[in-house]
Amino acid sequence: MTSATTSAKWITGPSPTSPSDRTTLYLRGDVTVERKVQEARARVSALGWYRFFVNSVNQTGTALVPRWTPFDHYVEYQEYDITEHLREGHNVLAMAIGEGRFRGHIGGSSRPDVYGDRLAGHVTIDIEYTDGSTATIVSDSSWLAGAGRISISDPMLGEKVDLRVSDDNWLSATTPPPNDPGRFGPVEIFPTQRNLIPEEGGRVEKVDTLRPLSITRTPAGTQLVDFGQNAAGVVRIHLQGKAGTVVTLTHSELVAANGSVDIDYLALPPVAKGIVQADRVILDGTPTWWQPWFTIHGFRYVEIDGLPNTLTADDLEYVVLSTNLAPTGTFQCSDERLNKLYENTKWSMRSNFTDTPTDCPTRERSGWTGDIQAFAATATTYANVSEYLRRYLRNLAVEQLPDGRIPPFIPAETSSFSGGLSKAFTILSSSAGWGDVSVQLPTVLHQYYDDTTSVELAYPAAKRWVDHLEHRAAHKRSIRRRLRARGAALENEKYIVDTGFNWGEWLRPGESFIASVADSALRSGPVIATAYLEHSARQLATLATALDRENDAKHYRQLADRTRKAWRAAFIHPDGRIGMNRQDDYVRALAFGLLQADEKAAAVERLVDLIEEAGDHLGTGFLSTPWLLFVLTDNGRADVAARLLLQTTTPSWLSQVERGATTTWETWEGYTQKGKAHASHNHYAYGAVTGFLIERLVGISPAEPGFRTINIRPTLLPGLTHAEATVGTPFGSAQAGWRIDGDDLDVNVTVPEGTTARLLIGPIDRHLTPGEHQLQYPITPISS
């Protein structure tokens, strides 16, 4: 469906009277159906989030649609089977449209009106009558527009509702509402051309509900509800009180020292203010259940002010909102703290896998490329994310800059309406590691799903990004290189990426946001960026081979080989130390295969030295943390991997667990030295470690693309006595588990039909056919 295949019009209400006019748009169409309906299907979209009703029946449910896309390029539509609700004779079609990502506040600077300042709706209904004839109903100038009980509906800041305003004359009255300029009047045809595309994958909608853990009074007299779980969604609450009573619900992940919810910890001056996620309801005097329609909050706690009665646990629930993905993975082991870490990461993924994979559900809520490239492989172990990641890559392809650079977040939070790309924004679009998401995500889709359709879709953008890095290395030289080469690029230096903005490793332990950027600019940028040129070029060669583009594959293999040589010459020092001699330098070198076979042992030894010098603590940030335990285990130091994994003091994964976290945090610390919370407490990036739990501790990983063959390679870590997991594959569920039983090791494996597995544990190398396998081995040769 495109704008050319339907006569439906984009319809809207009056123009905003001022920038502060954020009124929710209500639309109503009165239509006549001539005969008995055999089948009726509606295709609906909006500029803003909407709910669509047919004769008072909600077709949209709790979904937040349409999802975020580069709205200048296309808008998704949703299709509904409305056969049961469309009747012969008079029918009322109704829409309520909130600001959504189109007009609402978005991004770190919390800007409104990024894509436009007017909301609009678009409806096409195709009808087949029982006599075989057909008809089409569309949104047009016959519809009415007006206001309703939802006055403000911001995706970030919350919703304001006046329950005293009746919905009857909008939603269900048998005759149209009067032409009252104060409430309803003729629609305006919105002069916009928008490409409409079908939605792909699951919607953002209710996926779970939570009950309160506790309800207490704050020193200020308000009621504080603790749901016991940090997540993303809204509150459904039973309200009662006198007409005109204003009830305010303020949401947060944390409680401040004064006993109220903390609304200041997310501030990042001068870029971002503290985000106040608040819903306000004016009561009509009638007891009622209420929940907001067009907002989503990141929170564990909600503080309720203005409600005259004392709440009980039966009076409210947490409606968890997320993309409705099919869960495919499970994990359990003998250490409950690791089980909790796995669950915390699942909740962070659930909280942020909304209409784009966001960094957090509280502050900017942006589709940061660095976060999803770090976590994508791990995400496959929790759910089937193939369509979800493909959709991200589709959006990325249209947001990519003409010279190949990739915006730091997708969608790019810019449009022709708001002035297009700023100079600052284009500078931020050059970061290695972040832009490499264009190669990393199709690699994940190829490796875990054998999804060549998505690879084909993503390949042009991936190619342009690697070509951009190659061009940058060859033709843009830093001052350091100009001085060193006396104006002429040395042969190896043609492959060194040492210009342009880079986010760098990002948030090593103890690093602030500013310090992370400064470190990349002044110290570590070239060693990281050049490594990514090598890594992405090599991955791109693999993708080219999968698409039978052998000329490309040859070119990018050669580029990777030459970049590897240049990286080694520039960043391996005569004494064997690498880069800035930090943990991530060694992790990256080992993970990317930048070292010769006879160099690996010394690099691993130096990495272990750095870990031990830090008191058995990690020192990595967003980019290399996902590989840290892999490179240790795969290079014979599973003992050190175990010490890091089971470490309980900061910085570590389990320090967060032991401090009561129910999600994974943006920083390793989460709190200042004075005990004040800072930064998001719901980021999935550091939760990428749970991929290690599946692929090394239990040991399930694809040996060939799409799990055509499966590796089962368990790792017995000191301190653990059993571990088991289930992973979804294109062939069905693969399951594996091990348990130490005295002097024996019991191993259970389930291989799905259509594939085979290879069990690799200690000296054991065994082929497994489809079906269930229960095996037992003496533990001594394995553990030794």
Q: Give residue 9's pLDDT.
A: 96
SS3 87: coil
Summarised one tens digit per residue, pLDDT across range 470-529 is 999 999 877 766 656 544 446 788 999 999 999 999 999 999 889 998 888 887 899 999
User: Does some domain include residue 70?
Assistant: yes
Q: Residue with structure tokens 């506790």?
A: 214
Q: Within this chain, do residues 129 and 253 fall inside the same structural domain, yes or no?
A: no
pLDDT in tens, 277-294: 999 999 999 999 999 999
Instruction: Give the count of domains, the chain.
Output: 3
Do 65 and 187 lie in one domain? The reply is yes
Evaluate whether residue 412 is within a structural domain: no
pLDDT confidence of residue 487: 42
For the purposes of burial, counting CB atoms within 10 Å of the CB of 30, is it exposed (0-12), middle (13-18) or buried (19 or more)? middle
DSSP string, 494-522: GG----S----S---TT--HHHHHHHIII
Strand ordering across the sheet containing 744-751: 330-333, 722-729, 732-741, 744-751, 771-778
pLDDT at residue 492, as a whole number: 84
Q: How confident is the model at residue 184 (pLDDT cuts 50, 70, 90)?
A: confident
**228 and 213 within one domain:** yes
From 307, 323, 339, the end of a domain falls on 323
Last residue of a domain, one of 323, 342, 373: 323
**Interatomic CA distance for residues 219 and 259, integer angstroms:** 7
Task: Please tell me whether residues 122 and 257 are part of one structural domain.
Answer: no
Residue 299: helix, strand or coil by DSSP? strand
pLDDT tier at 247, thresholds 50, 70, 90: very high
The CB-side HSE value for 23 (13 A sphere, CA atoms) comes to: 18
User: In the prediction, which pLDDT does 274 show?
Assistant: 64
CATH number of the domain to which 132 belongs: 2.60.120.260
Rounded Cα distance between 775 and 558, Å, is: 45
Tell whether 454 is covered by a domain. no
Mean pLDDT of 646-666: 98
User: Does residue 402 sit within a domain?
Assistant: no
Rounded CA separation 470/450 (Å): 27
From the list 723, 752, 740, 751, the residue with the least C-alpha distance to 778 is 740
- The secondary structure of 745-779 as a DSSP string is EEEEEEE-TT-EEEEEETTEEEEE-SEEEEEEEEH
544: helix, coil or strand? helix
User: What SS3 class is residue 684?
Assistant: coil
- Residues 194, 241 within the same domain: no
Are 250 and 120 members of one domain? no
Whether 151 shows a pLDDT value over 80: the answer reads yes
- 39-54 b/e with 16+ CB inside 10 Å = b? ebebbbbbbbbbbbbb
What confidence category does residue 5 fall into, taking pLDDT thresholds of 50, 70 and 90? Answer: low
Average pLDDT over residues 580-589: 98
Rounded-to-5 percentages of helix, strand, coil across the chain? 30, 30, 40
Backbone angles phi, psi at 486, to 5 degrees: 50, 40
* 586 closest CA partner among 574, 566, 600, 569: 600
Note the pLDDT of residue 520: 84
How far from 415 is each of 118, 193, 572, 722, CA to CA, in Å?
Answer: 14, 14, 44, 52
Residues facing 37 on adjacent strands: 129
pLDDT tier for residue 182 given thresholds of 50, 70 and 90 = low
Q: Residue 702: inside a domain, yes or no?
A: no
Q: Which domain holds residue 727?
A: 707-783
End residue of a domain, out of 296, 323, 350: 323
The stretch 667-694 carries a mean pLDDT of 96
Same domain, 173 and 316: no
**Hey, what amino acid is at 436?**
D
Query: What's the number of CA atoms in the CB half-sphere (13 Å) around residue 416?
Result: 4
Which pTM value belongs to this model?
A: 0.96
* pLDDT value, residue 266: 84
Return the closest-CA partner of residue 743 out of 717, 714, 780, 715. 780
The answer as to whether 760 is a domain residue is yes
- What gap in Å lies between CA 602 and CA 136, rounded to an integer? 72
How big is the chain, counted in residues?
784
d(CA 86, CA 25): 23
Angle between helices 583-591 and 597-613 (to 10 degrees): 150
In a domain, 94, yes or no: yes
pLDDT, tens digit, 9 for 90 and up, residues 31-40: 999 999 999 9
- Per-residue pLDDT band at 175 (split at 50, 70, 90): confident
Residue 220 counted as domain residue: yes
> Mean pLDDT in the chain?
95
Pairing of strands 158-162, 277-282: parallel
* DSSP structure string for 218-243: -TTS-EEEEEEEEEEEEEEEEE---T
Which tens digit of pLDDT belongs to each residue from 51-101? 999 999 999 999 999 999 999 999 999 999 999 999 999 999 999 999 999
**What is the arithmetic mean of pLDDT over 160-167?**
96
Q: Which of 12-16, 31-35, 364-368, 714-718 has the lowest mean pLDDT?
A: 12-16
**High-pLDDT (> 90) share of the chain, %:** 87
Q: What's the CA gap between 725 and 707, in Å, rounded?
A: 16
Cα separation, 489 vs 253, in Å, equals 52
Beta carbons within 8 Å of 345's beta carbon, 6+ residues apart: 378, 382, 663, 664, 684, 687, 689, 690
**CATH at 729:** 2.60.420.10
Could you tell me which residues come within 8 angstroms of residue 83 by beta carbon, excluding any fewer than 6 positions away? 37, 38, 39, 40, 41
Residues 133 and 238 grouped into a single domain? no
Do residue 72 and residue 175 come from a single domain? Answer: yes
**pLDDT per residue as tens digits for the range 410-431:** 999 999 999 988 888 899 999 9
Instruction: Tell me how far apart the terminal alpha carbons of the chain are, to the nearest angstrom.
Output: 62
d(CA 376, CA 664): 16
Q: For residues 586 and 526, what is the distance between their CA atoms, to the nearest angstrom? A: 15
Residue 547 CA to residue 263 CA, distance in Å, equals: 50
If asked whether residues 223 and 84 sit together in one domain, one would say no
Helix (H) or strand (E) holding 479: helix 479-485
pLDDT tens digit sequence for 136-146: 999 999 999 99
Examine the domain organization and report whether 137 and 177 are in the same domain: yes
Question: Are 224 and 192 members of one domain?
Answer: no
How far is residue 136's CA from residue 41's CA, in Å, rounded to a whole number? Answer: 10
Number of H helices, E strands in the chain: 19, 32
Taking only the tens place, the pLDDT of each residue in 685-721 is 999 999 999 999 999 999 999 999 999 999 999 999 9
Tokens representing residue 181 in the block: 């300029």
